[in-house]
Each structure stands twice: as structure tokens, then as C-alpha cells.
Structure 1
Amino acid sequence: MCDLVARTGRHQQRYEDGRRLVAGCIPFRYRTSNDETSDDEPKKIVEVLMINSQSGPGLLFPKVMFPSELESRNT
């Protein structure tokens, strides 16, 4: 198998079995609704953070490259 070369500025990326390794997360929080027009109990709402894609329209979950000294399960 040939060595994979990362794009400019990504020379420290890690690869395993021909696949790039990244760590991702889905940041979220719970919030209580403030709907005063309803007689029901306040509802718990889940808010999820997403970011704009730099390569075009669309939303993504945040992801990062993890340091080579960390194992993937510790990231």
C-alpha cells in the first residue's frame, strides 16, 4: 500500500488502514421551553450545536484531528 499524503497544513494527520482518523462530538444541552401560551407543563428541549461547512452549503458536527500521542479510545 502506498503512503497517503495529507493536504497542505495537515501533515500531522493520522491514518489507519488507509483511513484518516478524526475525533468528533455532538455538543448538546437541555433547555426548558418558555412557552407561556400553553397551560401544559414546561417541556424539555434538546439543543444541538452544528457548524457551517466551509466547502459549501450545509451543516456539520464539529470534528478535530487528535494528537498522535493519544490513543483513539482516549480521545
Structure 2
Amino acid sequence: MTAQIDGWLREIVRCPVCRGELVDGTSPDGAPELQCADDCEQAGQRRGYRIDDGIPVMLADEARVFSV
């Protein structure tokens, strides 16, 4: 789903909170997003970053926090 992001950007982008790898994901409303691959700050907690016009919004304050 996040193929709209340029490959070079996809390889270097990391979570600004935990510096972890980001993987393709889907938000509850069905929109593509990048999600932390591992726990972020607390056990079982991760963040999802929305994608606007092919650009991931990597602002921690605007990330969706969810539990796994």
C-alpha cells in the first residue's frame, strides 16, 4: 500500500521516537501508514505515521499510538 513512497526515502526513514524500523501498515480508517516494527517507548505500544500525498508525516505529536 505504501508503494507511493519513493524507494530511497523508504530505506532511510525511521521512527522519530524510538528510531526503529517502519513497516507498511493500515490505519483503522483504511488509509496506508508507516508503523513501528517494534515496541515504541512502552511494551506493546507502537506508533503509526500517516502518509499525505506520498510523504510520511513523521511528527511524533501527530502519530497514532496503538497497542499490539
TM-score when normalising by structure 2: 0.25
Higher helix share: 2
Q: Which has the higher contact order (CA 8 A, sep 6+)?
A: 1
